[in-house]
């Protein structure tokens, strides 16, 4: 059996940024308003990955105003650019899967914490394509159920057919858990190419 490494933790900083207005920028996705606690910081409107790439070289701290998928986009661009030392704050309007997992606030309280909070080291979860998972993902077969055997480190997650597997990051190392909540570093599955459904 040759394992396919599907999800692997990368232990780099995904912190809540400390305040330093000269080195901090706000990345606003879509037409969302800038939350009041972030006033006075440079604001960059993000329409695509190239806009994120432009911000990476200029600032040491970025505050993401958007949804879980937007946070995942920023982290994936940092991963690809090998710039995971940049601090990331997250200020979504409402609670989400990522705020629950990483124990973050939402709205103005999130914006205050993203601007003035202390950085924390978090695991970063990515799939085999380099996409980052921050809120969770559903692992499904390409044309129906998953068939085969999936292994989390040394524990069998499933053997046979299953409808799918929900994979979630965790705030603590090793950084990954799956539906039967087997904690590990790497999930391997020797079957054909799976299809990922990842909102963020």
Do 105 and 17 share a structural domain? Answer: yes
Rg (CA), the chain: 17
Do 185 and 103 share a structural domain? Answer: no
Count the domains in the chain: 2
Do 152 and 64 share a structural domain? Answer: no
β-strands 5-13, 137-140 pairing: unpaired
Do 156 and 92 share a structural domain? Answer: no
What was the pLDDT predicted at 5?
33
Structure tokens at 37: 């606690």
The Cα 28–Cα 91 span in angstroms is: 10
Do 171 and 82 share a structural domain? Answer: no
- Out of 91, 121, 151, a domain closes at 121
- Out of 105, 121, 137, a domain closes at 121
- Out of 97, 121, 145, a domain closes at 121
Do 116 and 157 share a structural domain? Answer: no
Residue 7 maps to a domain: no
Do 91 and 46 share a structural domain? Answer: yes
The Cα 189–Cα 50 span in angstroms is: 33
From 173, 191, 48, 154, select the one nearest 165 (Cα to Cα).
Answer: 191
Residue 1 maps to a domain: no
**pLDDT tens, position by position, for the chain (200 residues)?**
222 233 334 444 444 444 456 789 999 999 999 999 999 999 999 999 999 998 888 898 899 999 999 999 999 999 999 898 899 999 999 999 999 988 899 999 999 999 988 878 888 888 778 888 898 888 888 888 888 888 877 888 888 888 888 888 888 777 766 555 556 677 776 666 666 665 55
CATH assignment at residue 40: 3.40.50.10330
Do 169 and 72 share a structural domain? Answer: no
The Cα 75–Cα 170 span in angstroms is: 16
What was the pLDDT predicted at 68?
95
Do 97 and 79 share a structural domain? Answer: yes
The Cα 89–Cα 24 span in angstroms is: 10
Which position has the token pair 């055997």?
Answer: 149
Q: What domain range includes position 65?
A: 13-121
Do 140 and 179 share a structural domain? Answer: yes
Judge whether 72 and 97 are in contact, CB under 8 Å: no
Do 140 and 189 share a structural domain? Answer: yes
């Amino acid at each position: 059996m040759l394992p396919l490494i599907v999800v692997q933790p990368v232990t780099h900083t995904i912190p809540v940024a400390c305040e330093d207005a000269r080195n901090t920028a706000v990345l606003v996705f879509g037409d969302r308003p800038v939350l009041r606690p972030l006033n006075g910081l440079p604001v960059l409107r993000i329409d695509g990955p190239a806009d994120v790439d432009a911000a990476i070289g200029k600032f040491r701290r970025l505050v993401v105003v958007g949804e879980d998928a937007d946070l995942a986009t920023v982290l994936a661009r940092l991963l690809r650019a090998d710039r995971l030392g940049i601090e990331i704050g997250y200020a979504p309007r409402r609670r989400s899967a990522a705020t629950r997992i990483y124990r973050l606030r939402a709205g103005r309280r999130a914006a205050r914490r993203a601007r003035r909070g202390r950085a924390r080291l978090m695991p970063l979860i990515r799939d085999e394509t380099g996409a980052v998972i921050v809120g969770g993902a559903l692992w499904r077969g390409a044309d129906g159920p998953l068939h085969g055997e999936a292994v989390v480190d040394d524990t069998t997650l499933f053997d046979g057919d299953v409808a799918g597997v929900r994979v979630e990051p965790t705030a603590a190392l090793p950084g990954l858990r799956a539906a039967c909540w087997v904690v590990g570093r790497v999930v391997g599955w020797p079957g054909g190419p799976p299809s990922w459904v990842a909102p963020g």
